[in-house]
Structure formats: structure tokens, C-alpha cells
Amino acid sequence: MTPGSRARAIVTPGSPIRAIVTPGSPIRATVTPGDKTVPLDRYRKPGRTRAVLPGEIGVPGARTALRQSIIVPTYNERDNVHALLDRLAAALPHTETEIVFVDDSTDDTVALLRDLARTYPMPITVHHRDDGAGGLGGAVVEGMRIARGEWIVVMDADLQHPPEIVPDLIAAGMRDGADLVVGSRYTAGGSTGGLADGYRKLVSRGSTLLVKTLFRNSLLAVSDPMSGLFAIRASSLDAGRLRPLGYKILLELIVRNRPGRVVEVPYTFQARFAGESKSTVSEGLRFLKHVGRLRLGGRPR
């Protein structure tokens, strides 16, 4: 196979495609409409055979006609990911969607995800990190670098962000010509109903008031800058500007990336499907450190 050539193959369940990659030669295995597209661009490991299984998709740098990439950071979420995938698969068009899991788990979440990835009709990438740099925000940024969709959607794995709202985020962004669409609990029609207790609701409100005071100009159009549910147009994103620390990646993105037009879509924050919240005192201190760094540092040089 010569550099720049194209291989055509059909991916059938359980049968891997194998391609020999010669030094420096980009290869793309494509399929007929209705079957999987398996990008192998930039996979340059001379003389090695790469087995590509259905569901194991997503080489960084490969861009396709995907409408949306769903980025899901995971930390010990084995009891949630199966239900999450079921609901995403039901809510989204399979030929226009990829799901990217960036996993920092210490349990068997990553092994379960790799098994599940083979059973769903849309491309699923599972990327495990050993160092966990930057926390949840760092995981999201790594996912952004892998993502190939026109829109990049970020959501949690615990189903507190309802998967069924993802099409609404994309539709609002396209209809209004937005760069960023925020899923908001605090705009008209939204609700914090799934927050566990009054204390968590107070913390949520207090942290929102804090950052809207400190970053008033950046957050004028955003009622819920602490939201973990949002969609950004890939062409508006410069992931290299982001230096996340902890959970609040949306705040980081707005302050450093300064997206143009921002719109909001209301949603009801749900109760956690399974497991325990990852919100801790140490995460709260990390958040304050992050806010201080953003306030003092502003946009990176």
C-alpha cells in the first residue's frame, strides 16, 4: 500500500480489520454507507499490524463528518457507564456520533468500557490515564484533543446530566449560531433538583455567585458557569490555551478561550444513578486554588 492510498473494508461484529502500516504512510480504512468508518490516519508504527475492532475508534488528529463527540471523564464509574451508553445510543444518531471516555479510574471501569465498546453501534474511544493530571478538567482537555466531531459535548458519567438533552444542546447551537451552549440549572426552566441536600445546593449557589462576581465580564451571558454539561463548536476551541485544575472545566474554558456567542439550554440536574459523589473538601480547596489562578493569571501568554 503506497502513501496516501485508501483501503476499503467492511467491519462486521467480532471481526477485526488488520492493516500493515509502513513508515510515514497515512492509511484510512473506510466502509460503505451504513457501516462503521475506522480512521487510522497518523498511526505510524512501522512494520506493525494494527487490529481495529468494532467500537475501538479514535486516532488523535483524524477528522471525519461526525456531528458530535461526547466526552465523558470517568473515575470509578463502573456501575454507571452501561446505563449511560444505553441512553446515549437511544438519544443520538449513531452515524453522526462518537463517544470518548477519558478514564482515571482505580477500579475496573476501563476494562468494562473496553468490553462495552464492542457492543454499541457508534464509535467509542476509551483512553486511560495513569497520572490523572489536572483532575477531571485535565481529562476533558485530553478528550477534546482526541475528539473528531463538529461539536464537542462534555458531560458526567453518573447520569446527573440527562443524555437525552444532548440533541437539544446541538440544535440550540446550530439554530442560534453559537460557539458555546451551556446546560444550565439556573436559567428559566432549569432545576437543581438532583443535588443531594441543602448544603450542596448552598455550595453550588455560593460558588456560582463567587465566580460571577470575580469574572463578571466573561460570565455576563452565563447563568451556570459551574455546570459540567455543555457543548462547544470545535472550530471555536483552542485546547492549548486551557490549564485546568479540578472539576470546573467550563469556567476555565470561558475565561481562557473566550468563546463568541453563548446560549443556554435549561435542564434538570438529576440524582446520581449509582455510587458516591466525588465532591470532597479537597476538591473544594482545589476549586478555590483554580479560581485564584484564573483571577491572577487571566489568559495564558
Banded pLDDT at 275 (limits 50, 70, 90)? low
Banded pLDDT at 279 (limits 50, 70, 90)? low
- Separation between Cα atoms, residue 300 and residue 241, nearest integer Å: 6
- Other beta carbons within 10 Å of 279: 14
- Other beta carbons within 10 Å of 3: 10
- Separation between Cα atoms, residue 64 and residue 286, nearest integer Å: 36
- Separation between Cα atoms, residue 297 and residue 145, nearest integer Å: 23
Residue 172: the pLDDT is 97
Helix 135-146 vs helix 249-257: crossing angle, to nearest 10: 60
Banded pLDDT at 205 (limits 50, 70, 90)? confident
Where b means 16+ CB within 10 Å and e means fewer, 64-73 reads bebbbbbbbb
Residue 44: the pLDDT is 29
CA distances for 110 relative to 60, 113, 143, 162, angstroms: 19, 5, 15, 22
Residue 195: the pLDDT is 67
Provide the mean pLDDT of the chain: 78
Q: How many Cα atoms within 13 Å fall on the side-chain side of residue 81?
A: 27
Q: Tell me the chain's radius of gyration from C-alpha atoms.
A: 20
Convert the pLDDT of each residue in 160-196 to its tens digit. 999 999 999 999 999 999 999 999 999 999 998 766 5
End-to-end alpha-carbon separation of the chain, Å? 44
Helix (H, G, I), strand (E, B) or coil at 104: coil
pLDDT at 7 over 50: no
Nearest to 17 by CA among 4, 26, 28: 28
Q: What percentage of the chain reaches a pLDDT higher than 70?
A: 72
Q: How many residues does the chain have?
A: 301
Q: Where are the domains of the chain?
A: 6-52, 68-297
Task: Calculate mean pLDDT across residues 41-60.
Answer: 34
Residue at 205: amino acid letter: R
Residue at 279: amino acid letter: S
Q: 68-297: CATH homologous superfamily?
A: Spore Coat Polysaccharide Biosynthesis Protein SpsA; Chain A (3.90.550.10)
